[in-house]
Each structure stands twice: as structure tokens, then as C-alpha cells.
Amino acid sequence: MKVLRRRRGSELRLPRPAWLRAVRLWLRDTRVLLRQFGPSLVAFGAAVLGGGALYYLLGGVAQAEHPATLVEGWYHVLLMMFLQAGENLPGAWYLTAFYFFMPLLGLAILSQGIADFGVLLFNRRARGEAWQVALAQTYHNHIVIVGLGHLGFRTARALHELGEEFVTIELDPEASLLTQVQGWDVPVIRGDANKYEVLRQAGVDRAHTVVIVTSDDTLNLQIAIHARAVNPDIRTIVRLFDDDFAREVRQAFGITAAYSASALAAPAFAAAAADLDVGAPVQVHGRVLSMSHFTVNATSLLAGRAVGDIEQVYDLSIVLLRRGHKVELHPADGIELQTGDEITVFADAGTLHKVNRVNR
């Protein structure tokens, strides 16, 4: 087998910058705020527009000097709502009543939602479980991790390092690792994943993969079946402790991948969740390495690149190349990959994930 080469030069495609992920998170978070406080914002806007129009019409009936235009009516109503009208009371009784009514209406709307909106906007960490559910509802085509024990946490950390978006479900509210996961701005749904409602709260119906890693084999299988019921197309990665049972589950229930206790490794779960076809990982001088298979797509950035060049750039080893009916073990460095080539790559999970992205 070829020796893995150190990465030299620039990569074919740079990973997503941290600032870009931060901007996306802020936009998603703000969208949740707007959705959560949408009714209050709509009510406030309707009160200003409708009240301004009514004030303009009443002023015309009373032949008052103000407001002269509809825009002025909106402006005066906005000032009234914030107790800053700054004018003497009008002579008409209905305009006087209007002066008292609009500030009360404005205060009622503001106290109901607008003030809370501002507090939550600048204090995003101090939100409860309802906020976690609301944030999870903005995720699409993501990964759901069930169980935040040691294996679940390591899988979550590996996915976080890979730049994948995911939501977690944890039943135990005292789980010591919850705070660390929430520190990554990842939604944590607290509840029983064996219930359809909790799975939907985590967005299983919109996710592409669910990773189930609780310590109970029977529960894991039940959750996998329920997840498939919510989303028949979802990929299911399940932790099982018995080798034979794991093989039977894959065949009988259509589980995408089932790993037994003897084959457990968080990078394997993370790679499988990221849609990588990986074999059992091996540890070489402290590095966890796996093999994965790729078919070079027509839009792939790998097409037209030499084997040796790709190995140097990505710090990996291409151990097999299949082109049509021809199979070449350890292809020469000068061979250029073509659309439709099938390659077997030996590398760590992060590198395999990167190659998977540039091959899309």
C-alpha cells in the first residue's frame, strides 16, 4: 500500500469558512425569532397602519388641522403608541378617545411580544426547550443524532468538525454533555425519541440521516422503525451490541448501517451519517483511517486530476481504480481520473468527507 503523503499546496476546494457558518446561524436564529414573534409584529404593524388611516379619516370628519395626510396619520399614531404624541387634546370627543385608546393598544402589543423579541435577540443563550424545538424546525436535509452518551457525543463532535448540520435528541435532562453540544449552537431536543412527536420536533421528516446510539438495543431498533415511519427515505445508522443481530437487522429491516459493540467508533458513525460508504475503521499511529468508494461524477473536481496530485493535495491514498472492466490496484501517479471511474480511497473521516464534497 502506498504511504500516505503530507498535504502540499492548496486544496481543490476550501472548507466552509467559520464566519460563513456564523452568518448562516445568525440568519437562521433571526428567522426563528421572526417566526416565533410574527403574530405580535403583524399586530403592531396592523395597529400602526390601521390606526393611522382611522385617525386620518376621523380628522377629516372633525375638520381638524392634523393629520393633513395619511402618512402624517401613521406618524402620529406611532408617536401615540410610544406615549410621545406631544399635542393638545383635540376638540372632538372621538379624537380624544382615540388619543387614549391607541397608547393602551400599543402598550398591550409591546408587552405581549415586542419587548421579549429584543431580549431574546441579544440573549440567544438564555432560551429554553421551546426555543430548541423552534430552531430545529429551521433545519432541512440534516442529520439527527439520538442519544448523547459518550458515543453520541463523540459522533456529534466528529460531525461538527466535518461541518455537517445536525440536531440531537436526549432523554436525560441531566446529561453532562448537553452544555457542550449546545455550545456549538446545535439544537438539543429533550424527550423520548421513541415518540413520533419528538422525532418530528427534531425534523426527522426533513432529515437525510438519523444516527441512533443509545445503550439499549431494543430501543434503538424501535426508534429506527419509528424514524422510517416518519420518513421512509431516511438513512438509519444504528448502534447494536451483538454482531449477528446487527447483520440480521440490516437485512431484515433495511437499516442503512448497524454497528456492533466490537466495531464501535465515532468516526465510523459520523462518516456514515455524512453519506460516506466506509469500511470498518483502523487505527494507525494514532490516526483513525477508513476505506471509502467513490464514483467520479461529471461535475466532480477530481475529474482530469492525476492520482499522484490528488494524493498529495488531500493526504490520502488511492488504493484501487476501476475503469470499465479494468481494475488496477495501486494506480500509477500519472493516471488522470475520468468521469465514471470508481476509486477506493484510504484516509481519515475528515478527508473522506472532503473528497465526497468535491466529487458532487
What CATH class is the domain 1-32+278-360? Answer: alpha beta
Q: What is the reported pLDDT for 108?
A: 73
Q: What is the reported pLDDT for 89?
A: 65
Residue for grid cell 418530528: 200
Higher per-residue confidence, 359 vs 106: 359
Query: Please, which pLDDT band fits residue 115 given cuts at 50, 70 and 90?
Result: low
If we measure between CA atoms, which residue out of 28, 273, 334 comes closest to residue 259? Answer: 273
Q: What is the reported pLDDT for 5?
A: 38
Helix intervals (H) in 137-255: 150-162, 178-182, 196-201, 217-230, 243-253
pLDDT by residue (tens digit) across 45-74?
888 888 778 877 777 766 655 566 777 778
Higher per-residue confidence, 99 vs 156: 156
Measured CA to CA, the distance from residue 298 to residue 305 in angstroms comes to 13
Query: Please, which pLDDT band fits residue 127 given cuts at 50, 70 and 90?
Result: low
Is the per-residue pLDDT at 138 higher than 60?
yes
Backbone angles phi, psi at 16, to 5 degrees: -60, 125
If we measure between CA atoms, which residue out of 245, 246, 210 comes closest to residue 227? Answer: 210
Q: What is the average pLDDT score of the chain?
A: 77
Q: What is the reported pLDDT for 3?
A: 39
- Name 220's Cβ contacts closer than 8 Å, sequence gap at least 6: 146, 212, 213, 214, 238, 239, 240
Query: Please, which pLDDT band fits residue 7 given cuts at 50, 70 and 90?
Result: very low
Domain 128-275 CATH superfamily: NAD(P)-binding Rossmann-like Domain (3.40.50.720)
What mean pLDDT is predicted for residues 254-277? 66
- For residues 166 and 159, the answer to whether their CB atoms sit within 8 Å is yes
210-242 burial by CB neighbour count: b if 16+ within 10 A, else e?
bbbbbeebebbbebbebbbebbeebbbbbbbee
What mean pLDDT is predicted for residues 94-106? 74
Burial class (CB in 10 A: 0-12, 13-18, 19+), 160: middle
Is the per-residue pLDDT at 301 higher than 50?
yes
Least confident of 17-26, 89-98, 118-127, 273-282: 118-127
Higher per-residue confidence, 333 vs 285: 333
Is the per-residue pLDDT at 14 higher than 50?
no
